[in-house]
Structure formats: C-alpha cells, structure tokens
Amino acid sequence: MNRLNEVIELRESGQWLEAKAIILELLEQEPDNPSFWYQCAWIHDVMGLEREAVPFYEKSLVLGLQGEEKQGAILGLGSTYRTLGMYEQAKTLFEKAIEEFPGNREFQVFYAMVLYNLNEHSKAMEILLIQLSETSSDEGIQTYKKAIHFYSNKLDQLWE
C-alpha cells in the first residue's frame, strides 16, 4: 500500500493523529504535490482544526489539484470559510465552483448556506427549493414539483 492510501485509510478509520503525522512527512518530501496538501487539509478539518486547514486547501488548489480532489477541496475550503465566518470568501468560491461544475448540486446547497449567513434568505430558499424539487424521489415532492419550482423565487409575493 502506498503512503497516501495509508493516510486516507487512517483518516477514514478515525486515526487522525497517525494520518496527520504521515501526511506532514509526505509534504516535506514532496512539497509540490497538490494531493498531499489536500489530504492534509482534510485531516485538519476532520480534527476540528478548520482555521489550520485553510492554507492547506488553498495551497492544494494553487498547485493545480484536479478532478474529484479539486471538487472536494473547493467544497471543503468553501465550507470551512463559512464555518469561520468568512462568508464573502465562501460566496465567491462557491460562485466560481458553480460556474466550473454546473452539474455538482452540492455546490448549490453549500452556496445557499452561505447566502443564508449573508442574510440573503430569499435567494437561499430559492436555491434549496429548486434543488429539492429536482432531486427528491419523494412521491409527495414529485407530485408538487412544478408548484415548488414555481414558487421558489416568489416566496414574498402575495396574490390577491
């Protein structure tokens, strides 16, 4: 098993200190490896060290992280920005992510959370209602899908 897989397995099994020690060692050996920076960020995040995770996420993206790892790093960084009260940074990051990965609904949902934090409640609800109506397999939601979608951006409108 390679060392990176070992780090991932340790992280997934809750052995965070061991995973952190190995990934920091790997970073010393290969400081330009974006996957190592990303895994280090992730470990810090799961350990509740959000503020410490930020520079690792940022560096992984600067170094050109690609594919699913890039998507995970963007989501992790944006979510971490949000939990640290860095709402404008999170908003900007999620807007770019939505543009780059329009089919990734998770970015829309996390973006809605940021909008909520920025008191953009109507837009946040609109996004969530659209995501709900388009992804739910619940029979009741599907029965009223058109209505949910229609009202998603008309929550404050009154009909008389």
pLDDT at site 67? 96
pLDDT at site 160? 86
Q: Is the pTM of this model over 0.85?
A: yes
Average pLDDT by stretches of 10, the chain with 160 residues: 89 95 96 96 95 98 97 98 98 98 97 98 96 95 95 91
CA distance 31 to 91: 29
Dihedral of alpha carbons 89, 32, 48, 79, sign: positive
CA distance 79 to 114: 9
With b for 16 or more beta-carbon neighbours within 10 A and e for fewer, the 149-159 pattern comes to eeebeeeeeee
Topology at the third CATH level for domain 3-88: 1.25.40
pLDDT at site 159? 87
CA distance 106 to 116: 15
Q: Where are the domains of the chain?
A: 3-88
pLDDT at site 1? 59
Tokens of residue 118, six digits = 């920025």
Q: What is the DSSP string of 23-66?
A: HHHHHHH-TT-HHHHHHHHHHHHHTT-HHHHHHHHHHHHHTT--
